[in-house]
């Protein structure tokens, strides 16, 4: 294993450090010579001890420091060996065959076979019985292994010395001999001795150990073998008493190294996956244990203690890691659950979204359907609205009393009193005071404002935009306030603006409001009828030619040759009216105020197009300022004045006849009796609406004319008023009102739907 390799190498490094500390470097040693030195040393020791045991005389054949050969030859007879063993263990060799003479046998001469066999055999048997290391008899021959003989002798020496000290306890170098050891064959090795196999120099080592030792040397070994060899090399030249210090040093270093290794592996384990750390640590522990086989005593216990601490730390760490793992596992499960819930939520939202989207589609479809129906409803609304206007009366007559002009405040008014649609006039009579009452749609007193007067005609402006024709007349004697009602005073203010301005302002306002649904084109004509001649008042070249009236025109223009000026605002119309007034004044003379002697007619042509359906609507509004209605006394006027008066009377009478015929629903309406009725033919009768503002002056001296005017107007109004009054309470009116109400609600709903539709479209 890698760990083992690292550890072995580490041990070698440690030893090397120790060797350096002790001034020796193993790689500088000549191992062979050291080995030889060691062998010689051991041989000398063995020889010295044998000589000492038998005496120098008996050991004369054995030098104190013999060579291998001398050592072998000296012991070959077996006499020294047997005598020595008998001294150590008396009676071990019962009979020693002594040499027949003491003559030194020449070197290399063979002893008698008997001597050779008997002594050596007896010695080897005795040694074997004592459990000491033995050798082969052939080891004493030439080429034999003298080292084994040396080992045997040294073992015997050790045993002898141990025995001399009492033979109790631990045998110093080899083992513990049992009480029966004398009779037994072997020693028991003491395993707690460190480096027993490699370090023992006193030959407690048996033959097998020596062989393995030799193998280790010869094979150059593994790193642990190297380690042993190196330690041996260190110890070779050390005295026995020095060994403990060196060994102590080596062991300390080893322990330090192991602790360092353990600590570093523990650090690795903290960062590496749990199981890997564990296996590494295990291997480290195994390695350490392997090394520790040779490390005994207190140092090893200390090391084990530290290992135990590491184990505890490891267990604690493992427990922590397990807790973290469990927590992470729980978190993952929770996240999975959350993910699952979120997915389900999203799916639900998607489903809801599709559902909502689908509903929205249906709703939009409904709205689109409603929007398409919106125009149909509008059309119906338009018709109903105008029916209501009809029920109010397609011909309405209003009476307006002019206030006294400045400087006339002392006069007594001809108007006695005004009550709703009735006006009572003071009439002078031969028998004193008299009264005469007249009925109209409404009577405006002298204090009525321009706005109040306009409010009654305002609903008809919408009818014009819906394609209906409207005629608004200002009737009355000269100076009664016709122009004031239709246009306003000379000094115009917003408040004093007349019907014309207000009607046109309204018309453009409504057209603007409807611009998304309708497109309106507005154009203006301004004509004058003087002495039954029709003239164009909007000419700019000063021409004053007569114009023809053609009622059959497809364009809706009865006077197609008159100037038709497109307008897009009230200001445009005012400018044109000013132009018309200017042209009208051209014809006036100092003695003849033409504005009172002619009818002026401002006609606003409106053409509307339904942008959805393409339907065209065409309507027009005639704003007519009639000539003065005062009667002309034929005896008092002649010439042109008489002619003017006759034309005016005839045309006003024709107008009265037409309106009366319309009101009475006569099959024949005499439009052709005057240019005025001819011009207004399309706007009088049918679905057209007619409004007449009858003006009277309050001055008593004009009471005759006032009564005459009122009689004329009442002739128009009475029939219509009668019909209106009948209809007012009829069930038709009630039903129609309900329909209008329902329709209004529908229109509002549809308007709202349309608004929603537009808003939804914005979101698309
Ligand atoms: N309601 C009114 N309030 C205040 N002033 C008025 C009113 N009506 C008319 N007048 C004034 O009376 C005078 C005559 O009015 P106006 O010119 O409108 O009469 P007319 O009928 O149009 O006359 P003509 O037929 O000559 O045109 C003017 O000065 C006008 O300002």
Domains and CATH numbers, the chain: 33-99+111-165 (1.10.418.10), 393-729 (3.40.850.10)
Between CA 511 and CA 517 the distance in angstroms is 10
Better-scored residue on pLDDT, 106 or 557:
557
Please count the other Cβ atoms lying within 10 Å of the Cβ belonging to residue 454. 20
Looking at the CA of residue 487, tell me the nearest atom of ligand 1.
18
**Residue 167 Cα, ligand 1 centroid: separation in angstroms?**
168
* Protein residue with its CA nearest to atom 10 in ligand 1: 481
pLDDT(729) > 70: no
Can you tell me which atom of ligand 1 is nearest the CA of 478? Answer: 25
pLDDT score for 718: 60
Residue 607 has pLDDT above 70, yes or no: yes
Alpha-carbon distance of 660 to 465, in angstroms, equals 27
Give how far Cα 250 sits from Cα of 18, 24, 101, 203, 260, Å.
6, 14, 56, 23, 15
Identify each DSSP E strand in 99-257 by its residue range: 175-176, 188-189
Given a contact cutoff of 8 angstroms between Cβ atoms, the answer to whether 562 and 547 are in contact is yes
pLDDT (average), residues 494-521: 90
Sign of the CA dihedral with 83 first, then 85, 86, and 88 last: positive
CB of 596 shorter than 6 A to ligand 1:
yes
Q: Is the pLDDT of residue 208 over 50?
A: no
Mutational test site, ligand 1, from 445, 484, 593, 697, max ligand atoms within 8 Å of CB: 484
**488 Cα to the center of ligand 1, angstroms:** 8
Residue whose structure tokens are 């609903």: 459
CB 45 within 8 A of CB 204: no
Spacing, Cα 481 to ligand 1 middle (Å): 3
As a whole number, mean pLDDT of residues 370-398 equals: 70
Determine whether 729 is exposed, middle or buried from the number of CB atoms within 10 Å of its CB (0-12, 13-18, 19+): exposed
Express each pLDDT in 156-183 by its tens digit.
998 888 888 876 665 654 444 433 333 3
702 CA from centroid of ligand 1 (Å)? 15
Annotated binding site for ATP: 476-483
With a 6 Å cutoff on the Cβ, whether 403 touches ligand 1 is yes
- Mean pLDDT for the chain? 75
Choose which residue among 476, 483, 648 to substitute to test ligand 1 binding: the one with the highest number of ligand atoms within 8 A of its C-beta.
483
What does pTM read for this prediction? 0.52
The β-bridge relationship of strands 470-476 and 689-696 is parallel
Q: Point out which residues pair with 471 in neighbouring strands.
A: 622, 690
Three-class SS of residue 251?
A: helix
* Ligand 1 midpoint to CA 479 (Å): 5
Q: Who's near 649: CB < 8 A, 6+ residues apart?
A: 631, 632
Ligand 1, atom 29: nearest CA belongs to which residue? 489
HEC sequence for 647-716: HHHHHHHHHHHHHHHHHCCCCCCCHHHCHHHHHCHHHCCCCCEEEEEEEECCCHHHHHHHHHHHHHHHHH
What was the ipTM of the complex prediction? 0.98
Residue whose Cα lies nearest atom 15 of ligand 1: it is 481
Token pair of 752 as six digits: 């709202």
Mean pLDDT, range 696-701, rounded to an integer = 86
Looking at residue 201, its pLDDT comes to 35
Residue ranges for the binding site? 476-483
Is ligand 1 within 6 A of the CB of residue 698? no
Higher-scoring residue by pLDDT: 623, 15: 623
Residue 657 alpha carbon to ligand 1 centre in Å: 26
Residues 284, 272 contacting (CB under 8 angstroms): no
Q: What mean pLDDT comes out for the span 706-729?
A: 65
470-476 and 616-625: which strand pairing? parallel
CB neighbour list of residue 369: distance below 8 Å, 6 or more residues apart: none
595 touches ligand 1 (CB under 6 Å): yes
Q: Give the pLDDT of residue 143.
A: 78
Does position 212 have pLDDT exceeding 50, yes or no? Answer: no
């Amino acid at each position: 294993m890698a760990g083992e390799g690292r550890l072995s190498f580490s041990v070698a490094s440690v030893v090397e450090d120790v060797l350096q500390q002790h001034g020796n470097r193993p790689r500088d040693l000549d191992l062979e010579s050291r080995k030889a030195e060691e062998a010689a040393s051991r041989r000398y020791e063995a020889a010295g001890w044998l000589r000492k045991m038998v005496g120098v005389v008996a050991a004369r054949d054995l030098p104190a420091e013999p060579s291998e050969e001398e050592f072998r030859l000296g012991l070959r007879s077996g006499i020294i060996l047997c005598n020595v063993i008998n001294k150590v263990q008396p009676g071990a060799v019962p009979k020693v065959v002594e040499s027949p003479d003491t003559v030194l046998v020449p070197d290399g001469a063979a002893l008698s076979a008997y001597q050779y066999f008997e002594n050596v055999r007896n010695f080897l048997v005795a040694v074997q019985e004592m459990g000491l290391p033995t050798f082969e008899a052939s080891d004493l021959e030439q080429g034999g292994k003298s080292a084994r003989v040396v080992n045997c002798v040294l073992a015997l020496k050790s045993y002898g010395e141990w025995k001399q000290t009492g033979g109790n306890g631990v045998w110093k170098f080899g083992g513990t001999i049992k009480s029966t050891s004398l009779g037994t064959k072997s020693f028991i090795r003491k395993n707690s001795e460190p480096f027993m196999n490699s370090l023992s120099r006193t030959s407690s080592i048996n033959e097998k150990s020596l062989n393995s030792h030799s193998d280790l040397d010869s094979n150059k070994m593994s790193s642990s073998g190297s380690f042993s060899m190196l330690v041996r090399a260190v110890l070779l030249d050390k005295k026995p008493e020095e060994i403990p210090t060196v060994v102590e040093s080596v062991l300390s270093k080893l322990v330090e190294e192991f602790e360092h290794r353990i600590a570093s592996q523990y650090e690795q384990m903290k960062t590496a996956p749990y199981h890997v750390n564990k296996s590494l640590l295990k291997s480290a522990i195994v390695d350490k244990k392997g090394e520790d086989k040779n490390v005994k005593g207190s140092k090893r216990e200390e090391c084990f203690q530290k290992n135990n601490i590491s184990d505890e730390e490891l267990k604690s760490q493992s427990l922590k890691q397990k807790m973290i793992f469990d927590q992470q596992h729980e978190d993952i499960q929770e996240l999975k659950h959350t993910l699952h819930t979120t997915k389900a939520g999203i799916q639900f939202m998607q489903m809801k979204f599709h559902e909502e989207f689908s509903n929205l589609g249906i709703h939009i479809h409904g709205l689109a359907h409603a929007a398409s129906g919106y125009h149909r409803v509008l059309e119906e609304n338009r018709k109903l609205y105008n029916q209501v206007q009809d029920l109010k009366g397609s011909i309405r007559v209003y009476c307006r009393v002019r206030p006294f002009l400045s400087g006339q405040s002392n006069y007594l008014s001809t108007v006695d009193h005004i009550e709703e649609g009735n006006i009572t006039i003071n009439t002078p009579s031969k028998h004193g005071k008299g009264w005469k009452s007249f009925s109209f749609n409404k009577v405006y007193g002298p204090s009525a404002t321009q706005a109040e007067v306009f409010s009654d005609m305002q609903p008809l402006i919408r009818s014009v935009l819906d394609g209906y024709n409207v005629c608004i007349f200002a009737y009355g004697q000269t100076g009664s306030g016709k122009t004031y009602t239709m246009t306003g005073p000379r000094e115009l203010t917003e408040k004093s603006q007349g019907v014309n301005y207000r009607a046109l302002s309204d018309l453009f306002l409504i057209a603007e409001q409807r611009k998304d649904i309708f497109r309106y084109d507005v154009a203006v004509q301004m004509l004058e009828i003087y002495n039954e001649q029709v003239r164009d008042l909007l000419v700019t070249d000063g021409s004053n030619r007569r114009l023809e009236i053609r009622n059959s025109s497809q364009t809706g223009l009865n006077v197609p040759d008159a100037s038709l000026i497109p307008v897009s605002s009230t200001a445009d119309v005012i400018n044109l009216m000013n132009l018309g007034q200017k042209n009208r004044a051209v014809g006036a003379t100092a003695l003849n105020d033409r504005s009172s002697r002619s009818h002026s007619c401002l006609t606003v042509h409106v053409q509307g197009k339904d942008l959805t359906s393409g339907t065209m609507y065409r309507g027009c509004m005639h704003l007519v300022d009639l000539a003065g209605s005062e009667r002309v006394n034929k005896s008092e006027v002649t010439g042109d004045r008489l002619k003017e008066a006759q034309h005016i009377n005839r045309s006003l009478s024709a107008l009265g006849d037409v309106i009366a015929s319309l009101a009475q629903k006569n099959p024949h309406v005499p439009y052709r009796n005057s240019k005025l009725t001819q011009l207004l033919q399309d706007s009088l009768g049918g679905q057209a609406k007619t409004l007449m503002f009858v003006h009277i002056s309050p001055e008593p001296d004009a009471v005759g004319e006032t009564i005459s005017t009122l009689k004329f107007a009442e002739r128009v109004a009475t029939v219509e008023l009668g019909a209106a009054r009948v209809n007012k309470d009829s069930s038709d009116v009630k039903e129609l009102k309900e329909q209008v109400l329902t329709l209004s609600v529908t229109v509002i709903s549809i308007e709202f739907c349309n608004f929603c539709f537009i808003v939804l479209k914005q979101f698309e």
